[in-house]
């Protein structure tokens, strides 16, 4: 009698948790996917910019020599700027890289300067860049007011943590015989079983990484 009650209760709780896991995943899954993908892109922002705009970040080999004195470099840059002026200079330690010059006017507007000739090789306008759009999508879902997007991302993140916890609860085998099955993907048991096993196994291995 007691054993039957415990088994029935356990089965009810497992079905209840499974429904929570399923229905919470539907609204939060898309948003969490967007946040993860845009976050991955933003991690490699500098590398992608250098790959796409090599002329901004690297100087021609034939111009490499002795860098201009800083005051002379600033004068040359100011001469090339029509309605702006130098606010800061970031000096690169690598001799084949340009200097990054911050400008007075505009939010996070930079010029890339050949340290040997003082020539401006290009500009970066952060608010007009692809990575600014990725940042607004990552943090606020491109919400102009930011408030609604920020709250939506925050709630989705909380739901995602709940999904991880409920997924881990569902992953724990009901008996010792099924422990091995939970670590493998059965590719011979049909389409639906394959995708179920893949979801369970990959989710388990990714649990600790995703939670952090």
Do 168 and 126 share a structural domain? no
Q: Is residue 105 included in any domain, yes or no?
A: yes
Would you state the pLDDT for residue 3? 56
What share of residues in the chain are helix, strand, coil (percent, to 5)?
65, 10, 25
Q: What is the pLDDT along the chain (212 residues), one digit of tens a residue?
A: 555 756 677 677 777 777 888 888 888 888 999 999 999 999 999 999 999 999 999 998 877 889 999 999 999 999 999 889 999 999 999 999 999 999 999 889 999 999 999 999 999 999 999 999 999 999 999 998 889 999 999 999 999 888 888 888 877 776 666 666 777 777 777 777 788 878 878 887 777 777 66
C-alpha distances (whole Å) from 50 to each of 103, 115, 161 are: 20, 17, 35
Q: Which has the closest alpha carbon to 64: 112, 98, 104, 88?
A: 98
In a domain, 1, yes or no: no
Domain contains 8: no
CA distances from 75 to 81, 85, 97, 207 (A): 10, 9, 20, 55
Res 2: pLDDT: 53
Give the contacts of 128 (CB within 8 A, at least 6 positions apart): none
Segments forming the whole domain that contains residue 171: 14-45+138-211
Say yes or no: 76 and 181 in one domain: no
67 and 119: one domain? Answer: yes
DSSP string across 152-188 = HHHHHHHHHHHHHHHHHHHHS-SSGGGTTGGGS--SS
pTM (predicted TM-score): 0.78
Provide the terminal-to-terminal Cα distance of the chain, rounded to the nearest Å.
Answer: 43
In a domain, 114, yes or no: yes
Residue that is last in its domain, among 110, 130, 150: 130
Number of domains, the chain: 2
């Amino acid at each position: 009698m007691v054993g039957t009650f415990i088994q029935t209760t356990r089965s009810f709780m497992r079905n209840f948790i499974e429904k929570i896991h399923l229905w919470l995943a539907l609204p939060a899954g898309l948003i969490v996917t967007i946040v993860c993908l845009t976050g991955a892109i933003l991690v490699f922002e500098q590398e992608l910019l250098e790959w796409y705009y090599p002329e901004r970040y690297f100087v021609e080999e034939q111009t490499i020599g002795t860098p201009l004195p800083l005051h002379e470099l600033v004068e040359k840059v100011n001469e090339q700027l029509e309605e702006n002026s130098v606010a800061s200079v970031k000096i690169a330690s690598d001799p084949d890289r340009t200097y990054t010059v911050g400008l007075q006017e505009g939010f996070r507007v930079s010029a890339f300067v050949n340290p040997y000739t003082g020539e401006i090789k290009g500009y970066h306008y952060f608010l007009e860049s692809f990575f600014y759009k990725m940042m607004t999508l990552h943090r606020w879902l491109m919400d102009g007011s930011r408030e609604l997007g920020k709250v939506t991302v925050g709630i989705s993140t909380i739901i995602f943590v709940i999904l991880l916890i409920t997924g881990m609860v569902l992953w724990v085998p009901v008996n010792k015989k099924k422990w091995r099955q939970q670590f493998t993907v059965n590719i011979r048991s049909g389409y639906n079983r394959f995708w179920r096993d893949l979801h369970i196994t990959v989710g388990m291995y990714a649990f600790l990484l995703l939670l952090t």
